[in-house]
Amino acid sequence: MDKFMKAAIEEAKKGFLEGGIPIGSILVRNGEIIGRGHNMRIQKNDPLAHAEIICIRNAGRIGTYSDTTLYSTLMPCYLCAGAVVQFGIKKVIVGEAENFKGASEFMKEHGIEVINLNDSECREMMGKFIQKNTDIWYEDIGK
């Protein structure tokens, strides 16, 4: 497995251990991690604290994002896909899109390369969480 997806999975596990939703994200430039984050909606009582948003925020102002790749353990939702489009990130690599289809087509329509690794660890981690925490999951995603 790609070392950057492993780092995103570590972020997801970190969030879960904090009592949150196990979604992790990493921003990479020139083969180095420049930002990382995990979903913190529960921990911060913030509906916008998605993993990808936290990750980009933690990368800070870097001038241009066009030469970066965003990794996420789960296909980004429209909120996070909008941030990807807004900041000009050209490539998104996701662990899985089985538990949540997300905004893959939206990103592709905006010229973003989207790669789904269909990773079993990501699928199982998110699937178990959703099964045990249906109310928390649907609070954000809707039915």
Total Cβ atoms within 10 A of residue 21: 26
Tell me what the mean pLDDT of segment 31-57 comes to.
Answer: 97
* Helical (H) or strand (E) element with 114: strand 113-116
Count of helix runs (H) and strand runs (E) in the chain: 7, 5
Q: Which residues of 76-91 are buried (b: 16+ CB within 10 A; e: fewer)?
A: bbeebbbbbbebebbb
52 included as an active-site residue: yes
**Residue 88: left if φ>0, alpha if ψ -120 to 50, beta else—which one?**
left
Residue from 52, 96, 105, 139 carrying the catalytic annotation:
52
Q: Name the residue ranges covered by the structural domains of the chain.
A: 3-141
Total Cβ atoms within 10 A of residue 33: 16
| Residue-wise pLDDT tens digits, 78-129 | 999 999 999 999 999 999 999 999 999 999 999 999 999 999 999 999 999 9
pLDDT at 112: 98
Query: Domain 3-141 sits in which CATH superfamily?
Result: Cytidine Deaminase, domain 2 (3.40.140.10)
**Residue 85: left if φ>0, alpha if ψ -120 to 50, beta else—which one?**
alpha
pLDDT at 143: 60
Bridge partners (DSSP) listed for residue 131:
none
Q: How far is CA 79 from CA 60, 84, 143, in A?
A: 18, 9, 16
Asked whether the predicted pLDDT for residue 142 surpasses 70, the reply is: no
Mean pLDDT, the chain, as a whole number? 95
Name the residue among 89, 112, 110 with its Cα closest to residue 25.
Answer: 89
The pTM of the full predicted model, rounded to 2 decimals, is 0.95
